[in-house]
């Protein structure tokens, strides 16, 4: 039987035969690709959701990063046109302890001139446990002050500016406190001072994370940490008690919002 519709005139179209085949390549962290339109070449750092849809983050050999939409045939892999495909496991992005998108295989960024200061080593360890991944991706260093009394002198020596911002997190920053008076003397356009209302950073950990109903009330005149250890009947010294508390923190959900919100605020400030 003859072909009632006739031969497709495009069957022998030489231009169609010469079009390159576009393969589909599953994205892998660290793989090197090139944007076919711009020539930008870099290693895959991760995939992000943007207003225009999914985009791949590339980092070039100088550490600069750019996002490129995942369009059909938009990339070159080993010199050949390719469409990048998100692996099935990446459909639900992995989250860091802070709740942000976890960047697989990310190398720590070179440290910025900006800094975040916290009052003590326990504060620094808690921030590292929950926001450590985010801070390394952003190149932000957290440093302990070992107390707020010398904050004014330290800020003056830091010499903050537009490209060298300073974020400060203070304990017990409530109206009328010593900390609030200190904060008022150092805050400025390039220095942001925020704080939480707790007597000590220990209290910023939710009691439920430790299996207790509430943090105990410590009588005036009793050192707060020693009073807490005694009231809870813990067989620890202060360092052991803190290690126990820190081990129960799995993510931002184990912290009081009065702390986690302030840390996020400082990270946004110093990276803006």
Q: Quote the pLDDT of residue 9.
A: 46
pLDDT value at position 121?
Answer: 93
Structure tokens at 95: 């989250």
Across all residues in the chain, what is the average pLDDT? 84
Residues 82 and 148 in one domain: no
Among 15-19, 47-51, 74-78, 107-111, the least confident range: 15-19
- The candidate with the shortest Cα–Cα distance to 155, out of 178, 173, 182, is 182
* Mean pLDDT score, 258-264: 92
Question: Looking at the structure, do residues 32 and 157 belong to the same domain, yes or no?
Answer: no
Could you tell me if 144 and 264 are in contact, meaning their C-beta atoms sit under 8 angstroms apart? no
84 with 30, same domain: the answer is: yes
Instruction: Please report whether residue 174 resides in a domain.
Output: yes
Instruction: Report the residue count for the chain.
Output: 272
Residue 238 lies in a domain: no
Residue 99 lies in a domain: no
Pairing of strands 75-77, 41-50: unpaired
194/63 Cα distance (integer angstroms): 31
Name which residue leads in pLDDT, 210 or 49. Answer: 210
| Pick from 64, 234, 255: nearest CA to 169 | 255
Is residue 211 situated within a structural domain?
A: no
Strand ranges in the chain using DSSP code E only, listed in sequence order: 23-26, 32-35, 41-50, 53-59, 65-69, 75-77, 80-85, 115-118, 141-144, 166-170, 191-195
Please check the confidence at residue 197 and state whether its pLDDT lies above 80.
yes
Q: Are residues 85 and 119 in the same domain?
A: no
Please tell me the predicted confidence (pLDDT) of residue 207: 93
Decide if 82 is inside a domain: yes
pLDDT of 204 higher than 90: yes
Q: How large a percentage of the chain has pLDDT more than 90?
A: 48
129 in the same domain as 256: yes
Residues 59 and 183 in one domain: no
Burial of 21: CB neighbours in 10 Å, binned 0-12, 13-18, 19+: exposed
CATH code of residue 191: 3.40.50
Q: Residue 138: is it exposed, middle or buried by C-beta count within 10 angstroms (0-12/13-18/19+)?
A: middle
262 and 134 share one domain = yes
Is the per-residue pLDDT at 271 higher than 70?
Answer: yes
Element (H, E) at 85: strand 80-85
pLDDT 10s digits, 228-256: 999 999 999 999 999 999 999 988 889 99
Whole-structure pTM value = 0.61
54 SS3 class: strand
CA distance 189 to 162: 8
Residue 268: pLDDT over 90: yes
90 Cβ neighbours under 8 A, 6+ residues apart: 27, 47
Is 175 found in the same domain as 52?
A: no
Would you give the DSSP letter of residue 200? Answer: S
Q: Pairing state of beta strands 53-59 and 65-69?
A: antiparallel
Are 140 and 201 found together in one domain? yes
Confidence of residue 22 (pLDDT cuts 50, 70, 90): confident
Give a yes or no: residue 228 inside a domain. Answer: no
CATH of the domain at 42: 2.30.30
| 125 & 21 share domain | no
The domain total for the chain is: 2
Answer yes or no: are the C-beta atoms of 265 and 272 closer than 8 Å: no
User: Are 143 and 48 found together in one domain?
Assistant: no
> pLDDT higher for 3 or 168?
168
pLDDT in tens, 102-141: 666 555 566 678 999 999 999 999 999 999 888 888 888 9
> Does 150 reside within a domain?
yes
Whether 243 maps to a domain, the answer reads no
- Give the domain extent around 137: 115-205+249-271
Say yes or no: 197 and 121 in one domain.
yes
Question: What element of type H or E holds 152?
Answer: helix 151-158
């Amino acid at each position: 039987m003859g072909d009632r519709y006739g031969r497709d005139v495009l069957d022998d179209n030489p231009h169609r035969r010469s079009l390159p085949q576009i393969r589909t390549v599953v994205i892998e962290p660290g793989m090197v690709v090139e944007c076919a339109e711009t020539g930008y070449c870099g290693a895959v750092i991760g995939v992000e959701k943007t207003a225009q849809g999914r985009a791949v983050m590339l980092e070039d050999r100088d550490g600069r990063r750019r996002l490129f939409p995942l369009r059909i045939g938009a990339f070159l892999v080993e010199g050949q046109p390719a469409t990048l495909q998100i692996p099935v496991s990446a459909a639900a992005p992995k989250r860091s302890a802070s709740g942000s998108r976890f960047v697989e295989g990310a190398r720590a960024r070179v440290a910025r001139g900006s800094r975040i200061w916290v009052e003590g080593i326990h504060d620094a360890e808690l921030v590292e446990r929950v926001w450590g991944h985010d801070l390394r991706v952003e190149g932000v260093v957290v440093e302990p002050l070992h107390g707020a009394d010398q904050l004014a002198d330290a800020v003056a020596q830091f010499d903050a500016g537009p490209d060298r911002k300073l974020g400060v997190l203070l304990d017990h920053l409530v109206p009328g406190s010593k900390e609030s008076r200190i904060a008022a003397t150092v805050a400025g356009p390039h220095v942001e001072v925020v704080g939480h209302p707790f007597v000590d950073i220990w209290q910023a950990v939710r009691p439920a994370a430790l299996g207790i109903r509430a943090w105990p009330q410590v009588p005036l005149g009793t050192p707060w940490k020693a009073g807490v250890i005694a009231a809870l009947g813990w067989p620890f010294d202060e360092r052991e008690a803190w290690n126990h508390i820190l081990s129960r923190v799995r993510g931002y959900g184990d912290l009081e919002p009065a702390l986690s919100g302030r840390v996020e605020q400082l990270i946004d400030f110093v990276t803006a």
